[in-house]
């Protein structure tokens, strides 16, 4: 069987506040179009310096807990050398070290193989860019 590779960019409006945006439906819709029942891998990637991707439970408080934990670990103050004109934004550039800008997930029978409560989310703390691009790539 010859493997195929298909990729697409998704635009995500994140607004001007730190946020988590659920990408699970976009990932599933992409796989319905391109996987055609095949097994493979879905890679999700964001090329923004102030965003990352997580596989986490959403809707039960874990999403808010993650943002609170990031606010605690990455405090918005003047400790950061990368200040981009003011105190605080340098912390946003540390986010991808804790929440990586990529995730590779199994695809079984053309469907994303996630646990019952798992979602794929874009995490962003940068408030200077109201939108992000996320690249979805299927290899199968």
Q: What is the pTM of this model?
A: 0.90
Residue with tokens 């912390």: 91
Per-residue HEC secondary structure of the chain comes to CCCCEEEEEEEEECCCCCEEEECHHHHHHHHHHHCCCCCEEEEEEECCCCEEEEEEECCCCHHHHHHHHHHHHCCCCCCCCCCCCCCCHHHHCCHHHHCCCEEEEEEECCEECCCCCEEEEEEECCCCCCEEEEEEEEEC
pLDDT tens, residue by residue, 67-110 = 999 999 988 877 777 656 565 567 888 899 999 999 999 999 99
Give CA–CA dist 114/53, Å, rounded: 15
- For the residues 105-128, what does the mean pLDDT come to? 93
The answer to whether the CB of 55 falls within 8 A of the CB of 119 is yes
pLDDT tens, residue by residue, 124-134 = 987 777 889 99
């Amino acid at each position: 069987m010859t493997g195929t590779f298909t990729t697409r960019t998704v635009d995500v409006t994140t607004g001007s506040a730190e946020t988590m945006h659920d990408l699970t439906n976009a990932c599933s819709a992409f796989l319905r179009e391109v996987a055609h029942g095949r097994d493979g891998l879905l890679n999700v990637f964001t090329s923004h310096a102030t965003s990352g991707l997580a596989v986490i439970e959403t809707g039960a408080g874990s999403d808010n807990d993650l943002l609170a934990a990031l606010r605690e670990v990455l405090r918005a103050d003047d400790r950061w050398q990368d200040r981009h004109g003011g105190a605080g934004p340098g912390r946003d550039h540390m986010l991808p070290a804790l929440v990586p800008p990529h995730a590779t997930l199994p695809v079984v029978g053309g469907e994303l193989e996630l646990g019952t409560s798992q979602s794929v989310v874009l995490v962003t703390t940068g408030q200077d860019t109201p939108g992000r691009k996320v690249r979805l790539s299927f290899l199968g």
